[in-house]
Amino acid sequence: MANHKSTRKSVRKNAARRDRNRYYGKTTRNAIRSLLAITDKKEATEQMPKVMALIDKLAKTNVIHKNKAGNLKSGIAKKVATMA
């Protein structure tokens, strides 16, 4: 365990941030998975902006890299565009 007061606080903060990042990352992955499982194009286009916003928030807070966010959004857009 850390010996300095400020280091103890940073350990607590890091644990809280890690939990928060893991929660939002998992929530976003589940949202992407459910969006890609949709077969109806109309319903998918309605859900797409919400998922894109989640991805943007993760990239903004450096939970995921901005290029990964762009790749995810591009793949989702391609998948939705090719739906029948």
**CATH number, residue 39:** 1.20.58.110
- Quote the pLDDT of residue 2: 77
- Quote the pLDDT of residue 20: 96
Q: How far apart are CA 46 and CA 34, in angstroms?
A: 13
The 10s digit of each residue's pLDDT in 40-59 is: 999 999 999 999 999 999 99
What predicted TM-score, i.e. pTM, was given to this entire model? 0.86
Domain count of the fold of the chain: 1
CA 29, chain centre distance (Å): 6
- Quote the pLDDT of residue 84: 76
- Quote the pLDDT of residue 79: 95
Q: How far apart are CA 72 and CA 62, in angstroms?
A: 15
Q: Which residue has the higher pLDDT, 1 or 20?
A: 20
State the average pLDDT over residues 4-19: 95
**Residue 64, domain extent:** 5-81
| Average predicted confidence (pLDDT) for the chain | 95
Model confidence band, residue 3 (pLDDT cutoffs 50, 70, 90): confident
Angle, vertex CA 47, rays to CA 77 and CA 58, nearest 5 = 75
Q: How far apart are CA 66 and CA 37, in angstroms?
A: 24
CA 73, chain centre distance (Å): 11
